[in-house]
Structure 1
Amino acid sequence: MTLLFDVAGNFYGQDREGRLPVNGLCSKLHFGCRILSPEDEDEAEPGDYHDIARHGIIEVAGDDVYGRKVIVFSACKLPPKTELNHQRLFEFMKMTLDQYVEMDYVIVYFHHGMTSKNKPKLSWMVQVYRELDRKYKKNLKALYLVHPTNFIRILWNIFKPLISAKFGRKVMYVNYLHELKAHLHFDQLKVPPLVLQYNAKILSTQKPSYPYGGDVQRNNSSLKTQQFGVSLSLIKENYKQVIPPAVQQTVEFLRVHALDSEGIFRRTANAATLKQVQQRLNNGETIDFTEFSDVTIAAVTLKTFLRDLSEPILTFELYEPIIRLHGQEKDEQILQAKRMLTEELPEDNYTVLKYILDLLTEVAAHSDKNKMTTQNLAICFGPNLIWPKGQASLNTMGHVNTFALLLLDNFDELFNTATS
């Protein structure tokens, strides 16, 4: 059976007899791979990477706080080097990166778990750096080296003559997992259990001070204007309106200025500018987004607002019911989605969600110019509308995106806009 995977992790294709297409979800993004039986794995053809992908060494974990795609490499998942074809691993790595190199992205490398048994040869590492040319390095915005050891520092000295100063500034050492929270949506990361255990061990022995305790003031005066990282109910209480000002200002601007902007919601924006905008909104300021030359500032601000809510707009309680909709008949999905929206979702959440989705349907209506179809928008917004309390599983990321697509494709029916 030959299966192809889209960027949402959904697969499609036909069996060897050409029967009906199959549908389902791939637990990781195995682009263009075949599902091989164990006896077939030793005879895998060049384009079949199941023998590599099954280890989960390389995974895609949503977006960071600036809207950039996150690629995760876990050293602890490397099998013994006698059991892994490192050339095929490199080819699989390039195939995965090829899906994202045209846009900004970041790499998180979990180093813990690399041992003498699974450590690739130094010549292979040099090959990887040399062959990942400007195409791959241009839009790489950050390389997070988590739990660096002396080996990493030795490697740095070896590679230093080969590394440009510009690339060197993208490399960031991360000693503790909580340091990633300033840059990534940590609950989207599928951190390997070995890495979590190691991090807990070094935290208990070294007892570092938590670096972000003073960044966000939590006294009553600061919370009077805070919009990012708090609840919709608190914003409503302080601003006396259901639609948060951050949402209202971004949506109104995008509706007028960005409907025809190609790649809107897929492109990233200047990180420093985004921080400034977020701080100004948290101070209660009204932002005139026309002062920026990049309409993406407003687009990423809207996504960041949603992702930073203390509880997702679709609530924690609806996460499991939404995931369970996957695989049901479309009519049943619509029926259950409408019931959840009208009977279980808080009224204010419903109002804000409808307000945002109304904009997204307008964006999709201009997809001939902006290239943002409902499917593309669902991929961009799905993880920002709903997530679980604990770590999100990559197995369910496609289900979340599928639900977002259901909301967009059936917006009029689900939100009764045709009769309102």
Structure 2
Amino acid sequence: YKMNQENEYYDKEFVDPIDGFADDDLISPNDIKDCDPGKVSPLAPVKSFLERDNFESELGSPSDEIYNAEFDEISKLNIVDIIAEGDRAGRPIICIYAFRLPSTKTFNHEVFLQFIQHILDKYVELDYSLIYFHYGLRSNNKPPIKTLIKAFNTFDRRYKKNLKVLAVIHPTRFIKFLWKIFQPFISIKFERKMHYMNSLNELDDIVPVSKLNLPQPIIDYDNSLSSNTKSISSFILPENGVPLPTAQFNVSLDYILSHNPESELPPIVVELVTFLRCYGLKTQGIFRLSGEVNRINRLQQRINMGEKIDFLSDERYKDNINLAIIDASALLKVFLRSLGEPIITNALYPQLISSLDVPKYERKEGVKSFIKLLPEKNLILLKYIIEFLLDVTNNEHDNKMDANNLSVIFGPNLTWPTNQQVPISQLNSLNNFCYILISEYEYIFSNN
């Protein structure tokens, strides 16, 4: 288990749990036979995201609705979950649950590999985190070693370079076995991204566990481990502490505005947008990168204490404007997700999805009608954010971020279901919603 605190690391060996895994030997003779080192090969480096001419297509267009029919069936199994902007640095989280993998006799792992690629392609050019929950992997649902080797060779540098955290939760001997296969081909830099965690207690240091809406079997298994020192209920239950009047993160929009009656907008949003509009509009890949977790957490704490961050004179940023731009853009994304209830509100989420489930030519009018349903304070904030994103797209020649790119980043942060998890089948709808807001800004917000 590796924790990153600034640039310092420490290691902790994972321990084999004493439970039902012990009588289910995942390492078969066929696995050993398939572990020919010649089958795992390092891949040639590829051009970076901003160096390629077709980087927009790699991020995925909200209007691109090509979707393998078999993916729908896989999606229903909920093996993969997306938690947009869920970790402590505002990075999207991709969760994979081994216990939901069906029997290998009925499940096509080749298609599942394509499905994961389809998901990752929406986020691969952003900083992101990946969490693999190993609990529930048995001999009858374990992917063949050949498939894992193919996956290793398929997910090239493009998928690995922006992966900031790869966490394996509840690892067993099988993970050690796999590590021996792949370790010779893994760089030291990538190895530092890997975290082995024996409990959800450890995971909470990197990702707010309460945001993951974890399946009950994972929670039950974690609670059953004798090594667990903290009940998962402490993550799931809301904190009892009363926020300060100056708090602007992890409080509601109503709370912020009630303590800032002179403003129609949260002061921190105005400060961040003003700074980014002045200094960040030409920054390549703005909003694509995320800040370092501890640094973003400290900024939130300072702001909640009532401190105003001056990125131009602050000791950490005064000689590094690019770092200031990265952290300011990360804070804006974190703010939207920390509201608890999204700008679009939980109550209106079903209506939003319905308004987008229409022929493409009807969606623009549907979105215009939909935003009239928003409370006034929410509409004012939404319009302010989208107006700024439009300014970002107007500098696309320099920053390489168009409406497609921005909608992938901001779509899941403007709205999400009550349980904080967006069904994979609805992700494209949320991206479409944000894309229409940006690309049709004048029409959507006229008379609103």
TM-score by length of 1: 0.74
Paired residue for 1:403? 433
State whether structure 2 residue 271 is matched by structure 1 residue 242: no
Which of 231, 239, 251 pairs up with 1:230? 251
Question: Which of the residues 392, 395, 398 maps onto 1:366?
Answer: 395
- How do 1:158-173 residues align onto structure 2 when only pairs under 5 Å count? 165-173=188-196
- SS of residue paired to 2:95: strand
Q: Give, as a single letter, the amino acid of the residue that structure 2 aligns with 1:400.
A: L
Output aligned runs, 1:257-406, within 5 Å: 257-290=279-312, 291=317, 292-294=320-322, 295-328=325-358, 333-342=363-372, 344-390=373-419, 391-406=421-436
Aligned counterparts, 1:100-115, within 5 A: 100-115=123-138
Residue equivalent to 1:141: 164
Separation (CA, whole Å) in 2 of partners of 1:183 and 1:143: 11
Contact 1:243 1:351 in 2 (8 A): yes
Distance 1:415 1:88 in 2: 42
- Residue equivalent to 1:68: 91
Match of 2:442 in 1: 412
CA positional deviation for 1:373:
1.7
Question: Structure 1: how far apart are the matches of 2:292 and 2:108?
Answer: 39
Q: Which segments of 5 or more consecutive residues in structure 1 lack a partner in the other structure?
A: 14-29, 37-48
Please give the per-residue CA displacement for 1:144-189, whole angstroms capped at 9, x wherever unaligned: 1123335435655776676555444322234455765654476885
TM-superposition CA deviations, 1:339-373 (whole Å, max 9, x none) = 4434x322222222222111111112222222222
Aligned length: 377
Distance 1:8 1:113, change over 3 A: farther
Q: Measure how far apart 1:225 and its partner are.
A: 1.6
- Work out which structure has the larger RCO, using CA pairs closer than 8 Å and 6 or more positions apart in sequence: 2
Conserved 8 A contact 2:83-2:422:
no
Name the stretch that deviates more: 231-240 or 169-178.
169-178
In 2, the alpha carbon distance for the partners of 1:53 and 1:387 equals: 17
Contact 1:61-1:190 within 8 A present in 2 as well: no
1:176-220 deviations in Å (ceiling 9; x for gaps): 5576565447688585xxx5324235437867525877xx98544
Residue aligned with 2:418, SS:
coil
RMSD between superposed Cα atoms in Å: 3.9
> C-alpha separation between the residues in 2 aligned to 1:264 and 1:316?
28
Judged with a 3 Å threshold, the aligned counterparts in structure 2 of structure 1 residues 131 and 236 are, in CA distance, closer, same or farther, namely closer
Partner of 1:45: none
Structure 1 residue 306: deviation in Å?
0.5
Where does structure 2 lack aligned partners over 5 or more consecutive residues? 1-56
Distance 1:126 1:328 in 2: 41
**Whole-angstrom CA distance in 2 between matches of 1:340 and 1:122:** 49
In 2: Cα distance, 1:398 partner to 1:260 partner: 27
Pair 1:273–1:58, CA change in 2 (3 A): same
Task: Name the stretch that deviates more: 252-261 or 56-65.
Answer: 56-65
* Conservation of the 8 A alpha-carbon contact between 1:190 and 1:392: no
The amino acid across from 1:303 in the alignment is K
The amino acid across from 1:278 in the alignment is Q
* Larger deviation, residues 135-144 vs 83-92: 83-92
